[in-house]
Amino acid sequence: MTGTKLNIGRRGFLKILGAGAAALSATAMGLSTAEAQVAAAVRPYKLLRAKETRNNCTYCSVGCGILMYSLGDGAKNAKPRIFHIEGDPDHPVSRGSLCPKGAGLLDMIHSHNRLTHPEYRAPGSKEWVRISWDEATTRIARLLKDDRDANFIARNDKGQTVNRWLSSGMLASSAASNETGVLDFKFSRSLGMLGIDCQARLCHAPTVSALAPSFGRGAMTNHWVDIKNANVVMVMGGNPAEAHPVGFKWVIEAKMKNKAKVIVVDPRFNRTASVADIFSPIRAGSDTAFLMGVVRYLLATDQIQHDYVRAYTNAALIVREDYSFDDGLFSGFDEKTGGYDKASWTYERDAEGNALRDASMTHPRSVLQLLKKHVDRYTPEVVEDITGVKKADFLRIAEVIGTCAAKDRTLTWLYALGWTHHTGGAQIIRGSAMIQLLLGNIGMAGGGVNALRGHSNIQGYTDLGLLSTRI
């Protein structure tokens, strides 16, 4: 074997090992090598004849890799049946791990409660009756067609062609493939259906509202595996140790390899908090005040990365003179409509339309100075008053966060629906984005603002944008 490189995967190795073990015991019984090899074939490795299919766990957004083993040789009338599922050791995020939800997938597949065929309940009846797929699709198509024929609007009152169908709608999944999502959209839109929405909006709409304007895209900025590079892991509005258990091992890896500090600020002492270095309870929904307090602390103690902030953020740009913020209202507020005219919410421009900038970031109307003025009210005392986070705890946490305003240190921010399901969810997430930009932690290994999604393809459906507002 000298000079020969063995190109063998883990699965192949196990197969050989299974056959080899049997061969060894057969040799020990006095059989020749050839006979031993035949004996080995009598009891092969249990997965040897199984068909191996790669897939992803159907539950959370960690998307752990799974290997599914089924029997059935493909012969006519032979029905394959999955009899074993295990973690895929080659998957880059899960590396063979599965949490109890993923490890129990086999039970879910074979559960008696699993609906594997269409059922129909007649009006007024309590009974569900099994029907064929043909009956189901024919009935659904019939009902849709009847409704569309009766309610389709070809032209509006002004005689303009609109081709709308408003009386039926569609709610798309976020646990299906991107291809399914594209078909959902084509199906509903080609029929003129306007009422289309998807689970991704329910879970993470504020993520898109906050991260898209901040960074150009409404997605977690970094990768699960990248969390291992963080020096500080800040968790608010989420409980990844329980909700994303396999992804959370990268937090543990950061703790082990970088001695990363894990900080949890959450109304509940949850499982993530149980392995955190610092935990502070917070009044539910008051996260924005906490984050603005951190922004104030970083600016007051000058713990920001100046070069980064100057080069990669809008902090040096000069805002229009007629922009203001008084008594809780921004300029342009219309009392009658309760809305804003946002014309003043932009930058001073030169003759060519370019925004004016002050590289020193000291101009009183530079974004940085206006931000400083805006957050000045969030002193540690005010933060304690609004959020319930004790002043001493707040300062301890802010101090650790401030250590990441250095070129060789990064903080990663993890959040989930504990942030997105507030009416001010977009503002909360924007707050963390501002802190990360001040620290110079965006676009850096171990940094970012990481939206932890609930379903296996929330991100895919978010990117597709299956929304009523999109044509």
Site of interaction with ligand SF4 (CB under 6 A): 57, 59-60, 62-64, 94, 98-99, 101-102, 244-246
User: Closer CB to ligand SF4, residue 59 or residue 297?
Assistant: 59
User: Closer CB to ligand SF4, residue 210 or residue 241?
Assistant: 241
Residue 359 half-sphere exposure toward CB, CA atoms < 13 A: 2
Give the shortest CB-245-to-ligand SF4 separation in angstroms.
Answer: 5
Residue 458 half-sphere exposure toward CB, CA atoms < 13 A: 24
**150: enclosing H helix or E strand:** helix 133-151
Would the CA dihedral through 262, 265, 266, 268 be positive or negative?
A: positive
∠ CA 283-220-227 to the nearest 5 degrees?
A: 85
User: Closer CB to ligand SF4, residue 247 or residue 431?
Assistant: 247
User: Closer CB to ligand SF4, residue 248 or residue 297?
Assistant: 248
User: Closer CB to ligand SF4, residue 57 or residue 375?
Assistant: 57
Q: Is 309 helix (H, G, I), strand (E, B) or coil?
A: helix
DSSP 105: H
Give the shortest CB-181-to-ligand SF4 separation in angstroms.
Answer: 19
| CA distances (Å), origin 457, targets 55, 62, 219, 355 | 13, 10, 12, 39
User: Closer CB to ligand SF4, residue 246 or residue 411?
Assistant: 246
CA-CA distance, 379 to 180, in Å (whole number)? Answer: 49
DSSP codes joined into one string, 12-52? HHHHHHHHHHHHHHHHHTT--HHHHHHHHHHS--TTTTSEE
User: Closer CB to ligand SF4, residue 51 or residue 101?
Assistant: 101
- 392-396 contacts, C-beta under 8 A, 24 or more apart: 393/278, 393/280, 394/280, 394/290, 394/293, 395/297, 396/278
Give the shortest CB-175-to-ligand SF4 separation in angstroms.
Answer: 11
Count of beta carbons in the 10 Å neighbourhood of residue 374: 13
Count of beta carbons in the 10 Å neighbourhood of residue 208: 22
Give the shortest CB-194-to-ligand SF4 separation in angstroms.
Answer: 34
- H-helix segments, 259-390: 271-274, 287-300, 306-312, 367-375, 380-387
User: Closer CB to ligand SF4, residue 90 or residue 348?
Assistant: 90
DSSP 175: S
Give the tokens for residue 331. Answer: 């300029």
User: Closer CB to ligand SF4, residue 88 or residue 358?
Assistant: 88
User: Closer CB to ligand SF4, residue 100 or residue 328?
Assistant: 100
Give the shortest CB-58-to-ligand SF4 separation in angstroms.
Answer: 7
Give the shortest CB-65-to-ligand SF4 separation in angstroms.
Answer: 9
CA-CA distance, 86 to 84, in Å (whole number)? Answer: 7
Give the shortest CB-271-to-ligand SF4 separation in angstroms.
Answer: 13
Give the tokens for residue 167. Answer: 């009386």
Give the shortest CB-91-to-ligand SF4 separation in angstroms.
Answer: 9
User: Closer CB to ligand SF4, residue 224 or residue 290?
Assistant: 224
Residue nearest to ligand SF4 as judged by C-beta position:
102
Give the shortest CB-105-to-ligand SF4 separation in angstroms.
Answer: 8
Give the shortest CB-141-to-ligand SF4 separation in angstroms.
Answer: 35
Give the shortest CB-229-to-ligand SF4 separation in angstroms.
Answer: 20
∠ CA 396-398-401 to the nearest 5 degrees?
A: 115
The distance of Cα 255 from the centroid of its chain, to the nearest Å, equals: 22
